[in-house]
Every structure is written in C-alpha cells, then in structure tokens.
Amino acid sequence: MKEILEYFTNISDEARGIFLVSGLLFFFLLEFGLPLFRMDYNKWKHARINITFTIITLIVNLFGAILILAAVRYNETHNSGLLNLTDLPLWLYVLGGLVLMDLIGAWFIHWVQHNVRWLWKFHIIHHTDPNVDVTSGLRHHPGENIFRLIFTSLAVFTTGASFGLVMLYQTISAFFAHFSHANIKMPLAVDNALSYIFVTPHFHKVHHHYIQPHTDSNYGNIFSIWDHIFRTTTSVKNMDDIIYGIDTHMKPEEHSSIKNLLMIPFQDYRPPVGSKFSK
C-alpha cells in the first residue's frame, strides 16, 4: 500500500494520460464483443461528440488542479482534515479517504445537481446521450466540471488526503466513469452482488433511463453504498426496458449538436415529466 501511494504521489502527467486512454480504449473494444445493448448508431460519430467534451473536461481540470493542490498544501501545513485527527493504519487511511472523497466529491455534488434547478440545467448535457457507452462517462458541460472541481477540492480539504491519495482517487474515479457507462453485459449475479458496494454497469444504467424516478437515483461514482444508505436506489426488472436520454431533449438536433449542448444551460428550462421543479 505504501508503494502504491508513493507511486501516485510522483505520478507523471504522461502516466495519468495512459491510465485514462487505456481504460477508455479497453472498454471501447470490449463493447464490440460483449454489448449490453446492440444500439443502432454511428459509434465513431457518437464518440467524436463525447470525446470533445472529454477534452474540454481535461482542460478545465488542468486549471482546477491548482485549487485541489492548494487544499492538499493547506492540509499538509496545518495537519488538518478528518484523516489526520488520529494515527490510522495505512490501509484504513487509504480506504477511508477514498470512501469520503467519493461521498463529497462525487455522490453529494451529483445529488445536488439533480436537486437544484440551475445546476441541473448544466448536468442535463450528461443525460441527453441517447446511446450511453464508455465515451459517455466524461460527457459533461464545462460549467459542471467547475462545480465538480469545487466539490473535489472541498473533499480534499475535509478529509486531509495527501497528494498521492488524491491522485489514486482520481485515477480510480476515471476508471469507474468508463466502467459504469460502458455498454458491456456482465453476468447478472455478479453485477448484482458487486452493486451492493460498487457502482456497476447495470446499476448505473438505470440512472440514464429517460424518465423519473430512475433519472433521480443511483448517483454513485465509485461506491454504491451511499445510494443504499441514503435510499436513492431504483432498479428495473428488465434491462431491455431502459431507454437512454432525457425526455425533454430527445430530438437528434438537440442531443447531437455540440453547439446546442453547450447552450442548454442558457436556454429556457423544460421540466421533465414528473419533475419537482416548476417552470
């Protein structure tokens, strides 16, 4: 465990890029052989749209890294954060840090985005994808990326995580973004068993069902335990019943145009069927 933390403390940008790209390519290729759904779409055109947003996400994250690094440096200087309140075994320090950062930096901001209307308007872009696959994992509006970076920094500040632990968390988080969105079919018994702790492909696909209450459920990123604890889980009896997208933006010209996707947060709000938000 010590060696792992040391590796991620000194990890290069090139190595992080290799982790990101290799995970994306692995699941992209796996989708051809073990698809959950055989979707009739141009996979390469679809990938171009989502990878464009992925590149934007990476650029925003480069600037956001300054904020995260500032939180790390503050904790190092003041020995602050929950993980530094007492001496913990290294395994507990790592596991506790991953779990808490996942709660604050992923689950909580995701829940907030679904419950605050103006934040939801930015998050809609992620839900407009009618063909969820591995490239959908980083399909986020740049405005949303900023909110997520703020909460990631808050998670680092609150936990007192070291730089190595933060890099480990972000690497695992990127892997699960690929894994949970990938259009792959896992044995149902395996998926169900893992979904009590981790976010699995079947568990997360329900979140992308086009109508509520499914849209407002299964918020987890790495760990599904937060959804079980806060009772925000839903399921479908038959995965074939899932229809991807969001009922307010089902037209191709709206969900397949990068220009329109970038403008959605600034357009008139359209409440989904069953929405808790008023116009």
Domain assignment present for 197: no
Domain assignment present for 215: no
Give the number of domains in the chain.
1
Rounded mean pLDDT of 142-157?
Answer: 94
Domain assignment present for 68: yes
- Which residue range is the domain that position 93 belongs to? 2-185+253-266
Under 8 Å between Cβ of 64 and 146? yes
How confident is the model over 208-218, as pLDDT tens digits? 998 878 889 99
How confident is the model over 26-39, as pLDDT tens digits? 999 999 999 989 88
**Is residue 2 classed exposed, middle or buried when 0-12, 13-18 and 19+ CB atoms within 10 A define those classes?**
exposed
Q: Strand, coil or helix: what is 244?
A: strand
What is the DSSP annotation of 198-234?
Answer: B--HHHHHGGGBSSTTTTTS---SSBSHHHHHTT---
Closest by alpha carbon to 208, among 275, 126, 121, 123?
Answer: 126
Closest by alpha carbon to 100, among 34, 157, 148, 57?
Answer: 157
Domain assignment present for 36: yes
Domain assignment present for 192: no
| Torsions phi, psi for 244 (to 5 deg) | -75, 155
Rounded mean pLDDT of 15-21?
Answer: 89
How confident is the model over 100-124, as pLDDT tens digits? 999 999 999 999 999 999 999 999 9
Closest by alpha carbon to 130, among 223, 261, 269?
Answer: 261
Element (H, E) at 117: helix 117-127
pTM of the full structure: 0.92
Domain assignment present for 10: yes
Which residues fall within 8 angstroms of residue 55, CB to CB, at 6 or more apart?
none
Domain assignment present for 173: yes
Enter the tokens of residue 91.
């395994």
Enter the tokens of residue 129.
């994808």
Rounded mean pLDDT of 228-233?
Answer: 96
Indicate the pLDDT class of residue 277, thresholds 50, 70 and 90: confident
Domain assignment present for 153: yes
**Does residue 52 surpass a pLDDT of 90?**
yes
Half-sphere exposure at residue 241, Cβ-oriented, CA atoms within 13 angstroms: 8
CB atoms closer than 10 angstroms to residue 219? 23
